[in-house]
């Protein structure tokens, strides 16, 4: 495998980014950092760590940046890309574990559906809480915790993977297309996963492959319809979460029970953040606008002043 790590940044913590690059460099053949027009100049810092650097003219969102990075990787001759967020740090054997899972699947019978991607579990460095994989059990959404793994080599079929840490064959991206630029952020990875499922591919989680990952600006442990961790984002992200949920339900074939699952998630999300956070009125405004734009099929990058959206430039590997 010729693996290129595609790291997306926007106003990153430089120390965290350096830790990511230092941890990732021995595990891949090359790293390309695609920066969404951060205010601090990262080029010298990135190049000093033997990584390529691409700075975009403005913040076009994570999907566009990922597509640009994947295009660069394909030109470099990559057979696989490893997508990474700026706040993720892989453990030393994460990539080798993902490679082993991918290779083991390729050796199976041709009756077994091909893997679209494999992804790691992660630990939130702030709370030391382990993540879970989202699976389907008896046609119902469920959670599968890495502690359930009985063997170091065990993998679990999942419904979707978060983009960070995901290892994807370039040939699969050619078949399915890249990420949806017009989502900007949120549900970019979920939509791509369901698109792969729709085309007959599998998605696999590898519990023994682990990375540190910080989801959201802040995380709190609460009881709300059960014990859970809640990741706090800015109210602007509420807009994209609500809008893109509706766009995703429009864009890709998703079983009815999963449609209910994602709608119920929005209900829970609104119920918590409109009750327990001080910015509830701003959040209500952004959620309402997101729902309106989702119903009206409005896409792109939100202009918070005009409450309208601008188109994102096209790439050579846009979603199919």
250 by Cβ neighbours in 10 Å (0-12 / 13-18 / 19+) ranks as exposed
Q: 57 with 37: CB under 8 angstroms?
A: yes
Residue 74 has pLDDT above 60, yes or no: yes
Tell me whether strands 30-35 and 52-55 are parallel, antiparallel or unpaired: parallel
Query: Helices in 157-302 by DSSP H: which ranges?
Result: 170-176, 188-198, 235-251, 256-276, 280-295
Residue 161: closest CA among 235, 107, 82, 225 = 82
| Cβ contact 143:119 at 8 Å | no
**In this predicted model, what pLDDT tens digit does every residue of 201-213 receive, in sequence order?**
999 999 999 999 8
pLDDT score of 37 = 94
Per-residue pLDDT tens digits for 47-58: 999 999 999 999
CA distances from 180 to 48, 125, 194, 211, 318 (A): 32, 29, 12, 25, 6
Please tell me whether residue 66 adopts helix, strand or coil conformation.
helix
pTM, rounded to two decimals: 0.93
Mean pLDDT, the chain, integer: 91
109 pLDDT band, cuts 50/70/90, is very low
Spatial separation of the C-alpha atoms in residues 95 and 287, rounded to whole Å:
37
């Amino acid at each position: 495998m010729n693996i290129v790590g595609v790291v997306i940044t926007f106003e990153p913590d430089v120390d965290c980014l350096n830790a990511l690059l230092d941890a990732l460099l021995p595990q891949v053949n090359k790293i390309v950092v695609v920066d969404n027009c951060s205010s601090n100049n990262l080029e010298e810092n990135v190049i000093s760590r033997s990584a390529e650097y691409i700075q975009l003219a403005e913040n076009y969102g994570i999907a566009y940046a990922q597509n640009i990075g994947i295009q660069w990787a394909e030109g470099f001759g990559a057979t696989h890309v490893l997508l990474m967020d700026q706040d993720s740090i892989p453990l030393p054997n994460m990539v080798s574990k993902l490679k082993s899972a991918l290779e083991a699947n390729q050796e199976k019978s041709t009756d077994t559906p091909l893997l679209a991607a494999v992804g790691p579990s992660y630990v939130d460095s702030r709370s030391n809480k382990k993540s879970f994989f989202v699976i389907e059990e008896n046609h119902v959404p469920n959670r599968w915790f890495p502690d359930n793994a009985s063997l170091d080599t065990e993998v679990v079929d999942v419904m979707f993977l978060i983009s960070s840490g995901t290892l994807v064959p370039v040939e699969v991206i050619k078949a399915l297309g890249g990420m949806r630029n017009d989502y900007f952020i949120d549900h970019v990875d979920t939509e791509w996963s369901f698109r792969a499922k729709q085309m007959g591919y599998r998605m696999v989680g590898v519990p023994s492959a682990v990375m540190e990952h910080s989801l959201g600006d802040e995380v709190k442990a609460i009881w709300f319809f059960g014990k859970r961790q809640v990741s706090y984002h800015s109210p602007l992200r509420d807009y994209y979460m609500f809008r893109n949920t509706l766009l995703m339900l429009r864009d890709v074939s998703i079983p009815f029970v999963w449609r209910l699952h994602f709608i119920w998630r929005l209900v829970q999300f609104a119920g918590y953040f409109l009750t327990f956070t001080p910015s509830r009125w701003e959040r209500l405004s952004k959620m309402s606008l997101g729902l309106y734009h989702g119903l009206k099929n409005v896409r792109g990058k939100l202009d918070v002043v005009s409450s309208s959206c601008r188109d994102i430039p096209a790439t050579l590997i846009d979603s199919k």
